[in-house]
Each structure stands twice: as structure tokens, then as C-alpha cells.
Chain A
Amino acid sequence: MIANPYTQADWNAVIPLFIVGGAALIVLLADLVSPKYANRYVSMAIGILGLIGGGVYAGTTYGVSHNAFGGGFILGGFAVVLQEVIVISAIFSIALFGAIGRGDRIAGSVALMLWSTAGAMLMAGAANLMTIFLGLELLSLGLYCLCGLADRPTSRESALKYLILSSTASGFLLFGMALLFGATGSVTLAALTTPAVAVNPLYWLGGGLFLVGLAFKLSLVPFHVWSPDVYEGAPLPVTAFMSVVTKAGTLAVFARFAYAAIPAHASNALLIPFFIIAGISMIAGNLGMLAQTDMKRLLAYSGIAQIGYIVASLAGGTDQGVRYAIYYLVAYMFMNLGAFAIVALLSTDKEEGSSIASFHGLAQRRPVLAAVMTFFLLALAGFPPTAGFLGKILILSTNVSAGFPWLAALLIAGTAISLYAYFKVIRLMYDRHAKPQALPSVQAPLAYVSMAVCVILVVVMTFYPYTPSNVLPLVK
């Protein structure tokens, strides 16, 4: 008998990651053994199957609540929900490769995306500073390469910018972690709540730097400047992936830190500034959308604001705050990925149709696409009957009841601004005087499917607003 140093919980924690990471290896092997390059659908299929496998296995531990690896990884509840969000958005992002990307790069892209997904899944359950950092770097390393994979100068710019700025952010995060460790003598989040730390200046400095690092990764204003440039340059599926997966992973870390790793009397002083920048993001992100001429940049700014809403939901540390943050995150995932699917459908092999000019007069050429794009933009703006509407109601009510009415007011103000930006695109699509443009003939059944699925789910979520109940406590 082989001496097994690991418990069942340990295995449960890593097997989903193994499945996803292993699928990436199989993708590479398939590419290797095929005479020239593997068919793009083979790579995509293996990747998606791997993600489904990982997601299903992770799902079996939903009701379980265990600590794996001595408190380094937490199973069940919140972690699983976030992992499913990550897995689903990775599936949707990979589906977009059906429309976009050079054939010889699909296998590598899918493999890198799977590894990044594994990193984000690790972050979703990470409950100690080292696991957090490990997950974050695994997530980021793949993305550095992925950003540079498109054949255009902006893609190189994107990769370099992301590498430099994200490394800087990781530096902040790591320095913060080191100081937190120095102040408390422990790396597990649960141990950071020692009441004595609040008198230690190192703790405040460490906590502050840690949160700055997270704000960077969440691209909250004023740490957001990287995200529009990176989004614009990266290949479309990668942009779609980054817009949800990195955010979901980082939100998981933030939620866990905010809810379970801060001594009660230090909580406000450390977190209120973070909620203030979330509030500023709602305004500034939506203002930033106004001047954009590229759909990916527009969605980047919209993401800045939307993440602000989600973070705002966590203000006050209430039980319902986490649940509504998850609800809005899932809604944001479907709205955003749906919008990206449409951009993919307007693209050709040579050129991505992400320029807003390519939406001009779309209603005449592709009425269904224009209608569905309108739907997603309305959903992002919070129009009924979409999950964006109900999500905003839920966040507003949790803000009001948790004593943060100013966040609710900022949310309203931000949404009012965003309306103009979203409707700018809608009005352009329905412009009667648009000149006819050539239609890209995209054969991307998967993008159509993901678009349809997103529409249905965004509506269904409005009328069946299920929020998972056993997400708390975040650290056990």
C-alpha cells in the first residue's frame, strides 16, 4: 500500500484542477500527434469536456465544507459556486475560438486558457496567502501569453502592458502578504483576525497593500488604466475570458479577505476606502465608456463599473451581500459573454469586428444580431426584464439595509451615465441612414449557441432569482 499523505478533502480540492489542467495537456498532445495542426474543434472539444469534467467534480463538493491542505483551500459552498462561474465563463470563452484566431494557435490558446482557469479555480477556494498567490500567478502567467497571440501590434502592446502592470500589482499584493505575515505570524486567512494585530502598523500597511493589489486585479479606479488597453489588444476570446474569470477569482479572494480575515474593529478602516474606490469605479467606469470607439474598450470600461457594483454588494459584510454579489456576478457573466459572442459573430478570420463602426446600421444587415446585442446592452444598463435589473435591485436593497445608502446613490448615478453609453451603440445599430457595409460571413455555430443560452439565462434569472444559500461562512 502506498502511503498517502493526503486526506480525501485534499484530493477533492485538487482533482477539479487536475482535470482541467490535464485536459490542457491532452489538447497539446492531440495537437502534437496530428500531422499538421489539430482541428480547432478538436482542441475546443477537449478543452470544453475537461472544463465540464472539472466543473462537475467540483460541483459534487458543493454541500461539503472542509479545509484542504491545512486550511490552504476551502471546499464547498462559496468556493464551488465561484468555481462554477469560472468554469462556465471559460467554456463560453473557448466557444468563441470557433470564430476567431489563427488555426495553428488554437491548441496552445486553449491549453493556456485551461491552465489559467485552473489558477482562477484555485483562487476561488484559496484561504491562505500562499494559495492565493499561487492561484493568481497561475492565472496571470497564461494570460500574459494569451494576450499577445493576435496578429496585430496592439496585441503585443496588450501583452506587454498586462505583464508589466500585472506584475507590479502582484508585487503590491506580495509585499502586502509579507507584511501581513510579519504582523500576524501566520499565512492562513483565518489566523489574520487576531485582535492584537490592529495596533501593529505593519498590519495596516500590509492590509492596505494587499487590497491595492486586489483593486489592481479587479481594475477598480484608479487602478484601472491597464484594462481597456489590454482588452482591446487581446484576442476576443481572451478578452471575454479576462473580463469574467480574473474578476471572479479576485472577487473570491476579496470576499474571503473582507468577510473572514479582518478583525472586527479593523474592518471599517481597512474596507471603507475599498468601497469608496468601488463607488468611484461605478462613476468613472461609466464615464470612460462615453468616449470609446471600440467595443472591447467599451466593455472594459463597463466591466470596471459592473465590478464596482459587485464589490459594493459586499459592503457591510452581510450574508445577503455575498449572495447578491454572486447573483450579480453570474448575471454579469452571461450579459458580458453574450455581448462578446456577438462581437465574435461580426468578426472575420482576419479582423475582429470589435470596432463600434462595425455596428453601424447593423439592424439592416443582421436584424437578429442587432436585437440580441440591444438586449445585452440593455441588460448591462439594468433594464428590465433582465438579471441586470433584478441584480441592481438586490444590490441597492442590501446597500440600503447594510447602512451604505451612498453606495446605492452612486450606483444609481453610475447607471444613469452608463445608459447614455450603451444607448449610443444601440442608436448606431438602428441608424436609418447608415451606409450598407459588407457582411462578414462567419461560420460559428458555437457562438450562436452561447449567445442564445446567455439570452435565455439572463431572462430566466430575472424571474427565478435563485441565490445559493450555503455560501457562508467563507472561512471555516
Chain B
Amino acid sequence: MSLVLIVLPILAGCALFFVPRSDRTVSRITGCVVAAITFFLPLVTGNDGAISAHWLSRPFTASLHFAWGGLSFWIVLLLALCTFCAILATNMPQTRTMIALLLMLEGTMMGLFTARDILAFALFWDLMLIPPFFALVGWGEHRDTAWRYLIYNFAGGLLLLLATAAFGVIYGSTDVIGTGHSIAGAWAPWIFAGFAIAFAVKTPLFPFHTWMPATYSDTPPPMVAVVSALQSKGGLYGFLVIGLPFLGSAMAQWKWIFIIASLVSLLYGAYIALVQTDAKRVVAYSSLSHLGLIVLGIFSFSGVAVQGVLVYIIAHGLFSAALFLILGYFEEREGTRSLARLGGLGALNPKLAGAFTIAALAALGLPGLAGFAGELVILSGVFQSGYFWPALIALIPIVLASAYMLRLLQDIINGPQVKDIPERTDLSWVEGLAVAPLLAALVVLGCYPHAVTATAAAFTAPLAAVQPQAAGTLALTKEQHDR
């Protein structure tokens, strides 16, 4: 069944190229229906939709093996939801082509997040670069952005390829995600280095982040919503399902590099977000900061932090998609993203302003919304596992997050109205429908994160292998939770 998640959107995307170029209705309906199918399919099927076909037997065993169990389940839902919302929000020149690209992006990322084979994972890792590349080529403002995006990420993809080949040769099989045991030996740190650089580029983590702000600000809003919400999670997902179970010892060996890089991302992203004047870039740099927190959570090897990581992965997907979509609405209305030129829109568009406020509050970690749940649990996990200073440093950007998000709100919604604004329409019902599920999910997940944290059990054993006390802490928190 999981093959449907991959093939259906890609085929639908290809099919859309046969409808007239100027079409809007047919492609929107098709896109929404396909995204809805991919959303409800995992929900209604009861099983994990596993499907497997033999692929390679030499030089190592590989299968085209896909399933949506465990962490994948939530990411698949998030992906389908974000795609649905993005397609609904698409309203631009060449809507048809954008929707086709969005569907292809969904299909390829479904492949990434459901892959149970590292080679299949690597295949979709590269493949998912193509739709955003064409979006940048077709709609981007600067010529070089598409390049930077592609070359950074494909270079990472090549290291992933090399690491996959080495992993396969040493482990004998790549059909291993969700099973297997840790590998050790002289090669392990190098294999991990290959994987880790690819993941760090994708996430992005501090020294590899330079492609990200330009890409996020140049990509059209529907595409960037999905890219920022899901594509960046590819790296984090990789750390969780490939890094922890198989290369845990190598991860522990190199952990300080990642802890420092994640702290730098946290601080640097928050600081830059504070001074950006382009609204999309503010959100882009805030993403850098938030994802740095997730990496910190992973590399603390704490069972508690991993629970927070899972929640925050989903939460960040929800609020960044919502933020980018809403900023897209503003841009569409005002024709600019410059914070200096926007202002006072709250009075004209009260519903739009309300939606934006919810998303921004989730991003700054307001209790009751999903962002808070994730941040708190990650930080307490990091703190519990003995990383006092990193946890303390990670608190600073959380304060800064309030500052930059409130500044964003203030500059766009409040303040004096910009002159010569013609009368504008508020959120239309389609536009509202496009962000409502994301905001609702933020509230639900904020109140009931346990649904997602339950999948953390899968990481107990790998964490225990890396750090003996981790299993203990996980058990402890479960008790607390039950109480």
C-alpha cells in the first residue's frame, strides 16, 4: 500500500502536464484529492502498508522496501497535510505547473520517509531535489538560487551515496531501516561522516546552511511551505533512523561537533532572524534556529529529548508551513515581503492576521501549542542527560524567538498603515481552509503530544546502546507521564 503514497502523487503530477497550461480548477481538485487520499490511506489501513521487492543481491542486499510504521507514520501524515494545504493555497501564474511539481515533491518525499532500505532512501533523497529546483528555475527571483540549492544538496547526496555504498559493503545489506544492530570498527566513523554531512546540509546545520535562506525566500510560497516543513526533516529523520541505530557509537564519538554546530545554528539563526528585513528570510533563519534545537536534542542521546524531538519535528513542520503560506498571502496582496514596506494589515485583514498570530505564537513556543511541547521536552531531556551548558545556551534563542516573531507580527499586522493601500479582501474561504488544518493540528498536538511521543519507544534500544542511562530516563518519564 505504501507504494500508492509514492506512485500516485508522481503519476498525478505527470498527468497534470496534459491539462492546459492555464488551468486552475482541474489541477487544484486533482491535487487536493490525491493529497487527501495519501493522508487518509495510512489512517484507514490499520497496518503499516509494508511492501517489498527484491532489488540487488550483490554487492549487497537491497530491496525496494517501503512502509509507514513508527515515526514515518506521523511524517507521512504531516507531508500529506502540508501538500494538501499548499495545493489549496496555490494561486499564482502557472498554477497547474506548480501543483504538478508539488505532487511530484510529495511522491518523492513519501518515498524518502517510507523507505525501509537505505539505498531506496538515497534514491529519493536525490530525487526530491528536482521539483524545488524546477520551481526555483521557473519562479525564482535570482538565477543563482536554484544552483546553490541543487549543488549543495546534491553534493550532500553524493556523500550519502558513498556512505550508503560503504555501509552496504560492510553491513551486507541496506534493507535495514527499523531493524538491525549497530556497526562498529574503523570504518564506522567515516561512514557516519558521509551520512552526517548529507544530513547536515539538508537540515541545515550551521556551516552548511548557506543555501537555505536564499532558497526559502526565492521559492514560491506553496513550495517553500512543503520544503521547509518536510524536506529539512529528511536530515533529522536520517539521524534518527540511520544514525542512531547503526552508527550510534560513531555518533557518540563525534557528538561534540554536532552539539556545538547545533548551538551555533540556534544562536546564529535567531540573531540573524532578528535583523532581517525580508519576512520570508526571518522565518527561514528562525527555521535554522529551531532545527538546531532538534539536532541538539538528538545528540544529547536522551530518551526524553528524543520524545521532544519527535514532537518538535511535527510541530515545526506545521508552523513553518503555516507561516510560509500566510506570508505568501501577504505577499500576494501587497506585492512585497519587505518588513519596512508592510504594516498595519491587521485592521484590513483581521482573519488573516489572526491566523498569522497563531502560527507565529506556535513558532515562538507559546504553551498550549505544539512548539512549546517540543521545546520544553527537548530542553529538559538535554538538561537531564547532563549537558548543563548546552541546555543553558539553548535557552537564549528561545527568548530571542519571542523577539523576532513578535517583531514580525508587529511589522506586518500592527503599526501605522502604509499609505495608498487599495481596499483588500480578507482571507477567502479557500485560503482559510488551506491554513486551518495546520493551525488546528498545532493546537491538538500541543495539548496531546503523547500520540507522537509513543513512537519514541523504537529508539529506546539504540539510545541505550549509545548511552546506558538513557533507557532509564525514558522509563522514568513514562512513569511521570502516566502519573
Contacts and interface: CB of A to CB of B under 8 A. Distances in A.
Nearest to A318: B59
B127 A383 contact: yes
Given A394-B59, A423-B150, A412 B169 contact: no
A419 B150 contact: yes
Contacts of B164: 393
A430 B130 CA distance: 13
B393 to A, nearest CB: 34
A432 B146 CA distance: 14
Contact of A397 (B59, B126, B143): B59
B73 interface: no
B119 interface: yes
Nearest to B146: A427
B99 interface: no
A57 interface: no
A465 B53 CA distance: 13
A401 B119 contact: no
Most A CB within 10 A of own CB, among B59, B60, B155, B159: B59
A374 B357 CA distance: 42
B150 A396 contact: no
Given A394-B59, A463-B64, A408 B130 contact: no
A340 B292 CA distance: 46
B134 interface: yes
Most A CB within 10 A of own CB, among B119, B143, B146, B161: B161
A427 B147 CA distance: 9
A409 B155 CA distance: 12
A320 B161 contact: no
Contacts of A427: 137, 143, 146-147
A396 B60 CA distance: 12
A401 B169 CA distance: 6
Interface stretch (A172-180, A270-278, A384-392): A384-392
Contacts of B168: 393, 397
Interface string B121-152: 01110110010011001100001001100110
Given A396-B165, A397-B60, A465 B159 contact: no
Contacts of B162: 396, 408-409, 412
A389 B159 contact: no
B395 interface: no
B58 interface: yes
A398 interface: yes
A66 B161 CA distance: 40
A225 interface: no
Contacts of B60: 397
A400 interface: yes
Contacts of A383: 126-127, 130, 154
Nearest to A398: B59
B8 interface: no
A308 B150 CA distance: 24
A382 B122 CA distance: 12
Contacts of B55: 463, 465
A80 B60 CA distance: 26
Given A400-B169, A412-B158, A419 B151 contact: yes
Contact of B154 (A320, A397, A400, A416): A416
A401 B159 CA distance: 17
Contacts of B122: 384, 393
Interface residues of A, number: 35
A415 interface: yes
Given A384-B124, A432-B138, A463-B64, A416 B151 contact: yes
Nearest to B58: A320
A68 B146 CA distance: 56
**Size range of the chain B interface in the assembly:** 20 to 34
Interface in A402-416: 405, 408-409, 412, 415-416
Contacts of A400: 165-166, 169
Most B CB within 10 A of own CB, among A320, A324, A396, A405: A396
A320 B59 contact: yes
A397 to B, nearest CB: 4
B257 interface: no
Contacts of B130: 378, 383
B155 A396 contact: no
Given A320-B58, A384-B127, A408 B138 contact: no
B56 interface: yes
A419 B166 contact: no
A420 interface: yes
Given A383-B127, A384-B126, A385-B123, A392 B59 contact: no
Nearest to A319: B58
Contacts of B56: 465
Given A320-B58, A397-B169, A398-B59, A389 B123 contact: yes
Contact of A412 (B146, B147, B159): B159
Most A CB within 10 A of own CB, among B134, B150, B158: B158
A401 B171 CA distance: 12
Contacts of A401: 59, 169
Nearest to A392: B161
Contacts of A384: 122-124, 126-127
Interface string A438-472: 00000000000000000000000001010100000
Contacts of A378: 130
Contacts of A416: 151, 154-155, 158
B22 to A, nearest CB: 15
Nearest to A433: B143
Nearest to A419: B154
A409 B193 CA distance: 13
Interface string B103-127: 0000000000000000100111011
B169 A393 contact: no
Nearest to A462: B123
A323 to B, nearest CB: 8
Given A383-B126, A412-B161, A416-B155, A430 B137 contact: yes
Given A384-B124, A393-B119, A393-B161, A430 B166 contact: no
A423 B147 contact: yes
Contacts of A385: 123, 127
Interface in A105-142: none
B146 to A, nearest CB: 7
Contacts of B169: 397, 400-401
B280 to A, nearest CB: 21
A389 B126 contact: yes
Most B CB within 10 A of own CB, among A385, A398, A467: A385
A431 B136 CA distance: 11
B123 A430 contact: no
A430 B138 contact: yes
Contacts of B119: 393
Contacts of A394: 59
Given A384-B123, A397-B165, A419-B151, A430 B134 contact: yes
Contacts of B150: 419, 423
Contact of B165 (A320, A393, A415): A393
B154 to A, nearest CB: 5
A389 B133 CA distance: 18
A423 to B, nearest CB: 6
Contacts of A324: 59
A385 to B, nearest CB: 6
Given A383-B126, A397-B60, A431-B137, 7 more contacts: A393-B119, A393-B161, A412-B158, A416-B158, A420-B151, A426-B137, A463-B64
CB-CB nearest 4 A-B residue pairs: A396-B165, A384-B123, A397-B165, A397-B59
25 contacts: A320-B58, A320-B59, A367-B17, A382-B158, A383-B127, A383-B130, A384-B122, A393-B122, A393-B164, A393-B165, A393-B168, A396-B161, A396-B162, A396-B166, A397-B168, A397-B169, A400-B165, A400-B166, A401-B59, A408-B162, A412-B159, A419-B150, A423-B150, A427-B146, A430-B138
Interface of B: 17, 55-56, 58-60, 64, 119, 122-124, 126-127, 130, 133-134, 137-138, 143, 146-147, 150-151, 154-155, 158-159, 161-162, 164-166, 168-169
